[in-house]
Structure 1
Amino acid sequence: MGSRNGWSNLSEEAVDKENRDYQERLSSKAAYLKSLAFDIETEAKDHHRLLDDVGGDFDTSTGLLGGTLSRVQKLLGQGRTNRQIMCYTILVIIFTFIILTYIISSSRS
Structure 2
Amino acid sequence: MVEVFGQNGSGVEDMLDVENKRMADSLASKVTRLKSLALDIDKDAEEQNRYLDGMDSDFMSVTGLLTGSVKRFSTMTRSGRDNRKLLCSVSAGLIVVFFILYYLVSRAGT
TM-score range, shorter chain: 0.7 to 0.9
Distance (whole Å) between structure 2 residues aligned to residue 39 and residue 82 of structure 1: 58
1:92/1:18 CA distance change after superposition, 3 Å? closer
The alpha carbon displacement at 1:90 in A equals: 3.5
> How many residue pairs align between the two structures?
100
1:15/1:90 CA distance change after superposition, 3 Å? closer
Distance (whole Å) between structure 2 residues aligned to residue 48 and residue 9 of structure 1: 58
1:50-65, aligned counterparts within 5 Å?
50-65=51-66
Aligned to 2:16: 15
Confirm whether residue 72 of structure 1 aligns to residue 76 of structure 2: no
Q: Which runs of 5+ in 1 are unaligned?
A: 105-109
TM-score normalized with structure 1 length: 0.77
**Per-residue displacement from partner, 1:26-47 (whole Å, max 9, x unpaired)?**
1001101100110110111011
Helix, strand or coil: the match of 1:8?
Answer: helix
Paired-residue identity, %: 33
Which is bigger in relative contact order (C-alpha 8 A, separation at least 6)? Answer: 2
Helix, strand or coil: the match of 2:79?
Answer: coil
Distance (whole Å) between structure 1 residues aligned to residue 14 and residue 93 of structure 2: 94
Distance (whole Å) between structure 1 residues aligned to residue 97 and residue 30 of structure 2: 67
Aligned to 1:107: none
Distance (whole Å) between structure 2 residues aligned to residue 36 and residue 95 of structure 1: 54
CA RMSD of aligned residues (A): 2.7
Q: Which runs of 5+ in 2 are unaligned?
A: 105-110
